[in-house]
Structure 1
Amino acid sequence: MARLDRLAPVRGIAQIGAAIGREFSYELMQAVSKLADHELSPLLDQFVASELVQQRGSPPDALYTFKHALVQDAAYETLLKSQRARIHAQIAEAIKRDFPEMSARHPDVLAHHCSEAGLFEEAIGYWLKAGHLAAGRFANIEAAVNLEKGLELLDRIPADAVRDRTEFELWAALGPALNVTRGYGAPETIAAYEHARDLLRSVNDPSRSGPIYHGLFSAYYSRANFDKALETGKEFLSRAGDQADASSLCIGHRMIACAQNSIGDFALALDHAEQALANYDVDRHGPLAWRFNHDLGVSARCHLGISLWHAGYPERSRAIEREALEFAANLNHPNTIGYALYFAGGISAVRRRDPEALADCARRLGAHAKHHGLPHWSARSAWFEALAILAHGSAAEAIVRIQAAMGLCGQVGNYSFRPAMLGGLAVANLAAGRADEALRVADEALQVAEQTSERGFDAELWRVKAEAVLAIGESNAQAMAESHLDTALQVARSQASRMLELRAATSVARLWIHQDRTTEASNLIGPVFGWFTEGFAEPDLQDAKNVIDRVSRC
Structure 2
Amino acid sequence: MSDALRTALDGFGLGEFYDVLAANDVDVATLEELTEADLRELGLTLGQRKRFLRARTTHNGLPPPGQRPGGGGHSATMVGERRQLTSMFCDLVGSTPLSLRLDPEDFSEIIRVFQDTCAGVITRGGGYVARYQGDGVLAHFGFPRAREDDAQSAARAALAIVAKIGQLRAPDGEPLSVRVGVATGLVVVVGDYGANGLAVEQSIVGETLNLAARLQSAAAPGEIIISEATQRLCGGMFEYEQRGDIVLKGFPEPVTMYRLIGEGSAQNRFDARTFAGLNPFVGRGQEFDALIGRWNAARAGRGQIVLVSGEPGIGKSRLALTVLDQIRRERAEIIRWNCAAHLANRAMHPIVRDIEMRAGLSRTLSADAARAAVGRLVAASPTLFSDDARFLHDLLGMETETRSDLDAAGRARRIYAVLARWLAGVARDAPVLILIEDAHWADAATLEFLATLIDRIPRLSVMLLITHRPEFVAPWPQAKQSASIVLDPLDADAGAQLLAAVMRDHILPSAVVRTILDKAGGVPLFVEELAHAVLDAVPGLRRAVESPESLTIPATLQDSLMARLDQLGEAKELAQIGSVIGREFTSAMLRAVAPDHPDIDGGLRRLCESGLARENFDTDAVGIAFHHALIQDAAYESLLRKRRRELHRAVAEAMLSQDPAFAGAEPEEIARHCSKGGLAEPAVSYWLAAGMHALDRAANAPAITHLRSALEQMTLLPETAESARTELQIQMALAPATSAIYGWAARDVETACRRAIAIATQVSDGEALCGATWGLWTNYFIRGEMDSALDCARSVSAMADETGSTFLALAAAHALTYSHYSRGEYREALAAGEAGLARYDRDADLLALRTFQLSPSLALPTLMANVHWFLDQEAEADAALERAHAMAEALQHPPALVHCLCVSSYYLVFARRWDKLAPIAERAVRISVEEGFRFWEHMARVAQAFARAADGDRDGAIRAAIDNITAFKATGASIVMSQFEPRLGELLIDAGEARQAEARLSEAIADAHRRAERTYLPELHRVRAVARGKLGDFERAAEDARAALSIAIAQGAPPLVRNAEATLRGLMESRENSAKVIDLQGHWRREGRA
Could you say which TM-score interval applies, normalised by the shorter chain?
Answer: 0.7 to 0.9
Residue 380 (structure 1) shift? 1.0
Q: Does 1:286 align with 2:351?
A: no
Match of 2:1010 among 448, 451, 462: 451
Match of 1:327 among 880, 887, 901: 887
Residue 510 (structure 1) shift? 5.3
Per the alignment, residue 794 of structure 2 pairs with 234
Q: Does 1:486 align with 2:1033?
A: no
Q: Does 1:20 align with 2:20?
A: no
Residue 158 (structure 1) shift? 0.4
Per the alignment, residue 932 of structure 2 pairs with 373
What is the correspondence of 1:403-422 to structure 2 with a 5 Å cutoff? 403-422=962-981
Per the alignment, residue 532 of structure 1 pairs with none
What is the correspondence of 1:437-448 to structure 2 with a 5 Å cutoff? 437-448=996-1007
Aligned residue identity for 1:302:
T
Residue 202 (structure 1) shift? 2.1
More relative contact order in 1 or in 2 (CA 8 Å, sep 6+)? 1
CA shift digits 1:365-407 (9 cap, x unpaired) = 1122223322222101211122223334544333322211112
Q: Distance in 2 between matches of 1:202 and 1:104?
A: 37
State the SS of the aligned residue for 1:6.
coil
Residue 157 (structure 1) shift? 0.6
State the SS of the aligned residue for 2:657.
helix
Q: Which has the larger displacement, 65-74 or 326-335?
A: 65-74
Q: Does 1:316 align with 2:876?
A: yes
Per the alignment, residue 1064 of structure 2 pairs with 508
Aligned residue identity for 1:6:
G
Per the alignment, residue 537 of structure 1 pairs with none
In the superposition, relative to structure 1, how do residues 417 and 44 fare at CA in structure 2: closer, same or farther (>3 Å)?
closer
Match of 1:153 among 713, 718, 736: 713
Residue 508 (structure 1) shift? 2.9
CA shift digits 1:269-307 (9 cap, x unpaired) = 111111121112235413532321121111111222222
Q: Distance in 1 between matches of 2:921 and 2:607?
A: 57
Count how many residue pairs are aligned between Structure 1 and Structure 2. 520
Q: Distance in 1 between matches of 2:637 and 2:771?
A: 46
The answer to whether the 8 Å contact 1:26/1:59 transfers is no
Q: Distance in 1 between matches of 2:902 and 2:610?
A: 59
Residue 321 (structure 1) shift? 1.3
Q: Does 1:195 align with 2:195?
A: no
The answer to which structure has the higher strand fraction is 2
The answer to which structure has the higher helix fraction is 1
Residue 328 (structure 1) shift? 0.6
The answer to whether the 8 Å contact 1:54/1:64 transfers is yes
Residue 255 (structure 1) shift? 0.5
Q: Distance in 1 between matches of 2:691 and 2:662?
A: 16
State the SS of the aligned residue for 1:64.
strand
The answer to whether the 8 Å contact 1:31/1:98 transfers is no
Aligned residue identity for 1:106:
E
Q: Does 1:166 align with 2:729?
A: no
State the SS of the aligned residue for 2:784.
coil
Per the alignment, residue 76 of structure 1 pairs with 639
Aligned residue identity for 1:30:
R
Aligned residue identity for 1:17:
G
Q: Does 1:207 align with 2:767?
A: yes
In the superposition, relative to structure 1, how do residues 58 and 461 fare at CA in structure 2: closer, same or farther (>3 Å)?
closer
Per the alignment, residue 704 of structure 2 pairs with 144
Per the alignment, residue 469 of structure 1 pairs with 1028
Per the alignment, residue 536 of structure 1 pairs with none
Residue 56 (structure 1) shift? 4.1
Residue 473 (structure 1) shift? 2.8
Q: Which has the larger displacement, 389-398 or 41-50?
A: 41-50
Q: Distance in 1 between matches of 2:704 and 2:979?
A: 32
Residue 507 (structure 1) shift? 3.3
The answer to whether the 8 Å contact 2:814/2:859 transfers is yes
In the superposition, relative to structure 1, how do residues 60 and 368 fare at CA in structure 2: closer, same or farther (>3 Å)?
closer
The answer to whether the 8 Å contact 2:671/2:683 transfers is yes
Gap runs ≥5 in structure 2: 1-61, 75-569
Aligned residue identity for 1:456:
T
Per the alignment, residue 671 of structure 2 pairs with 111
The answer to whether the 8 Å contact 2:579/2:633 transfers is no
Residue 190 (structure 1) shift? 2.4
Q: Distance in 2 between matches of 1:53 and 1:392?
A: 54
Q: Distance in 2 between matches of 1:16 and 1:292?
A: 41
Residue 425 (structure 1) shift? 2.8
CA shift digits 1:11-49 (9 cap, x unpaired) = 88666535423432012223444579x975456557767
Q: Which has the larger displacement, 62-71 or 310-319?
A: 62-71
State the SS of the aligned residue for 1:315.
helix
State the SS of the aligned residue for 1:5.
coil
Q: Which has the larger displacement, 496-505 or 2-11?
A: 2-11
Residue 172 (structure 1) shift? 1.6
Q: Does 1:175 align with 2:240?
A: no
Aligned residue identity for 1:154:
M
Per the alignment, residue 357 of structure 1 pairs with 916
Per the alignment, residue 134 of structure 1 pairs with 694
State the SS of the aligned residue for 1:8.
coil
Match of 2:994 among 428, 435, 460: 435
Normalising by structure 1, we get a TM-score of 0.84
In the superposition, relative to structure 1, how do residues 205 and 388 fare at CA in structure 2: closer, same or farther (>3 Å)?
same
In the superposition, relative to structure 1, how do residues 214 and 105 fare at CA in structure 2: closer, same or farther (>3 Å)?
farther
Per the alignment, residue 543 of structure 1 pairs with none
State the SS of the aligned residue for 2:715.
helix
In the superposition, relative to structure 1, how do residues 426 and 252 fare at CA in structure 2: closer, same or farther (>3 Å)?
same
CA shift digits 1:158-197 (9 cap, x unpaired) = 0111221122222222222211222222222322222222
In the superposition, relative to structure 1, how do residues 437 and 87 fare at CA in structure 2: closer, same or farther (>3 Å)?
closer
Q: Distance in 2 between matches of 1:148 and 1:314?
A: 45
Residue 449 (structure 1) shift? 0.7
Q: Distance in 1 between matches of 2:647 and 2:907?
A: 59
In the superposition, relative to structure 1, how do residues 23 and 390 fare at CA in structure 2: closer, same or farther (>3 Å)?
closer
Q: Distance in 2 between matches of 1:235 and 1:56?
A: 57
Aligned residue identity for 2:704:
A
CA shift digits 1:445-495 (9 cap, x unpaired) = 211111221111111112112212322235xx2x54443222212101222
In the superposition, relative to structure 1, how do residues 449 and 57 fare at CA in structure 2: closer, same or farther (>3 Å)?
closer
The answer to whether the 8 Å contact 1:233/1:252 transfers is yes
Q: Distance in 2 between matches of 1:54 and 1:286?
A: 44
Q: Distance in 2 between matches of 1:87 and 1:197?
A: 39
Q: Distance in 2 between matches of 1:351 and 1:170?
A: 40
CA shift digits 1:331-367 (9 cap, x unpaired) = 11111111111112x1111111222222232222112
Match of 1:498 among 1048, 1054, 1078: 1054
The answer to whether the 8 Å contact 2:696/2:850 transfers is yes
Aligned residue identity for 1:261:
Y
CA shift digits 1:303-336 (9 cap, x unpaired) = 2222222222111112111111111111111111
Q: Distance in 2 between matches of 1:180 and 1:366?
A: 14
The answer to whether the 8 Å contact 1:463/1:504 transfers is yes
The answer to whether the 8 Å contact 2:981/2:1020 transfers is no
Match of 1:5 among 62, 70, 77: 70
Residue 66 (structure 1) shift? 5.5
Gap runs ≥5 in structure 1: 530-547, 549-554
Residue 100 (structure 1) shift? 6.3
In the superposition, relative to structure 1, how do residues 99 and 528 fare at CA in structure 2: closer, same or farther (>3 Å)?
farther
In the superposition, relative to structure 1, how do residues 155 and 464 fare at CA in structure 2: closer, same or farther (>3 Å)?
same
Normalising by structure 2, we get a TM-score of 0.44
Q: Distance in 1 between matches of 2:957 and 2:633?
A: 52
